[in-house]
């Protein structure tokens, strides 16, 4: 990677505090590239030159992102779960926090042109690309994430709790817009189902992805059914129905057309995790 004077690490606080446009204006003005946490996916389209990738999900993400090569790393809107500050220090990263409210007045010389992404961006793409194209059965989780992204309407989103499904959405869900995937920074019981319940109340399409139904999710489902709300819970399991990509999409469509809260299941083979581990080490997020 070409040595950079500055790079930005952006987290969920950018969305929470309503400063997405301020961040984008900074990038337009300075040509500073942005790494986002898994909880801030969609700040930039996946193919935007400003999008340097999602970091924090795996043990070696911050090393492979070559943050120590930048003369300054700006951390904004990230909590300790997203970006552990001591870890950055231990890695020799020259970092500093700025408040989300300071983005509007943030000044930096920046770069004449957008710098190159770190090599790990292409290495992860080299793993995920073939997985997206792999239509073997059972589905791999990257293909399941891609197909779900394509199935959802423009204002719809996928959401998951702090589990293996959330990890795969964080790493491989292709974001078309901000909010197209919603994940917690830390474990919160019923996070995904609660998100879906709220979305249903304003007419949005939401799909909760989970490896199994837990008690908190079941309680939210019961509440949603009493209220007449509609969303889908899709279980990704090793013993689920062996559906092709097309059949799985048809199952989602049929579930949505039924209305109410529908729980469906699809067989997913998580063995591809080893390919991601080869690039960035094991998952570090949520205690996985």
Q: With helix as H, strand as E and coil as C, how does the chain read?
A: CCCCCCEEEECCHHHHCCCHHHHHHHHHHHCCCEEECHHHCCCCCCCCCCEEEECCCECCHHHHCCHHHCCCEEEECCCCCCCCHHHHHHCCCCEEECCHHHHHHCCCCCCCCCCCCCHHHHHHHHHHHHHHHCCCCCECHHHHHHHHHHHCCCCCEEEECCCHHHHHHHHHCCCCCCCCEECCCCCCCCHHHHHHHHHHHCCCCEEEEECCCCHHHHHHHHHHHHHCCCEEEEEEECCCCCCCHHHHHHHHHHHHHHCCEEEEEEEECHHHHHHHHHHHCCECHHHC
> Which domains occur in the chain, in start order?
7-117 (3.40.50.1220), 124-274 (3.40.50.970)
pLDDT tens for the chain, 288 residues: list them. 345 689 999 999 999 999 999 999 999 999 999 999 999 999 998 789 999 999 999 999 999 999 999 999 999 999 999 999 999 999 999 999 999 999 999 988 889 999 999 999 999 999 999 999 999 999 999 999 999 999 999 999 999 999 999 999 999 999 878 899 999 999 999 999 999 999 999 999 999 999 999 999 999 999 999 999 999 999 999 999 999 999 999 999 999 999 999 999 999 999 999 999 999 999 999 999
Instruction: Give the pLDDT confidence score for residue 259 in this predicted structure.
Output: 97
pTM here?
0.96
Instruction: Give the pLDDT confidence score for residue 2 in this predicted structure.
Output: 45
């Amino acid at each position: 990677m070409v040595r950079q004077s500055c790079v930005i690490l952006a987290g969920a606080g950018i969305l929470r505090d309503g400063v997405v446009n301020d961040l984008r204006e900074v990038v337009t003005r300075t040509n500073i590239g942005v790494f986002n946490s898994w909880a801030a996916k969609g700040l930039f389209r996946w193919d935007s030159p400003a999008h340097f990738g999602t970091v924090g999900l795996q043990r070696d993400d911050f090393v492979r992102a070559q943050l120590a090569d930048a003369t300054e790393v700006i951390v904004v809107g990230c909590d300790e779960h997203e970006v552990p500050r001591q870890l950055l220090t231990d890695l020799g990263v020259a970092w500093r926090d700025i408040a989300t409210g300071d983005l509007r007045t943030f000044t930096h010389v920046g770069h004449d042109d957008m710098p190159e992404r770190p090599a790990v961006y292409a290495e992860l793409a080299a793993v995920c690309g073939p997985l997206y194209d792999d239509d073997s059965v059972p589905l791999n989780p990257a293909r399941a994430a891609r197909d779900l992204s394509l199935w959802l309407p423009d204002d719809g989103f996928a959401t998951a709790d702090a589990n293996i499904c959330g990890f795969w959405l964080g790493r491989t869900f292709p974001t078309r817009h901000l909010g197209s995937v919603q994940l917690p920074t830390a474990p919160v019981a019923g996070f995904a189902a609660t998100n879906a319940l709220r979305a249903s109340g304003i007419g949005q399409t939401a799909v909760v992805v989970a490896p199994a139904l837990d008690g908190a999710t079941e309680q939210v489902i019961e509440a949603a059914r009493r209220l007449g709300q509609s969303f889908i819970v899709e279980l990704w399991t090793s013993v689920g129905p062996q559906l092709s990509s097309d059949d799985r999409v048809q199952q989602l469509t049929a579930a949505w057309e039924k209305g109410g809260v529908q729980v469906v299941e699809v067989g997913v083979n998580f063995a591809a995790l080893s390919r991601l581990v080869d690039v960035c080490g094991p998952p570090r997020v949520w205690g996985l």
